[in-house]
Amino acid sequence: MQLGCPHCAQRAMPAVVKALTSPWQARECRRCGCRIGVPWWGHGLAMLPILAILILLPLVPIRDGLWLLIGMTIAFVAHFMLRLVAVPIVSREPDGQRRF
């Protein structure tokens, strides 16, 4: 799990904040104040489990709602775990420059 700032290499944010950060958001590193975020490709990668459930949704009979609920829960947990583990933190500063 990469939580280090690409500028100062210190822990930039808590894991929960990283899991909830979207590609169009820029957050400040809590150590150096530089703008950081997550890349678009990482967000797309993390969306794959949810997309798989949405594709398989029409194949599940309505009476098997419990299995659908279990599948959706697993997909959302996989989504957040992928966001924590596989998605890096990248610079959102212009040209990757440091702010200080």
pLDDT (tens digit, 9 = 90+) per residue, 25-57?
888 888 888 888 888 888 888 888 888 888 877
**Predicted local confidence at residue 98, as pLDDT:** 56
φ and ψ at residue 9, rounded to 5 degrees: 65, 10
Closest among 29, 35, 12, 26 to 93, alpha carbons compared: 35
For 63-75, write each residue's pLDDT tens digit: 767 877 888 888 8
**Predicted local confidence at residue 89, as pLDDT:** 87
pLDDT band at 62 (very low <50, low <70, confident <90, very high): low
Q: Which residue in this structure is represented by tokens 């697993």?
A: 74
For 77-98, write each residue's pLDDT tens digit: 888 888 888 888 888 887 655 5
**Predicted local confidence at residue 79, as pLDDT:** 87
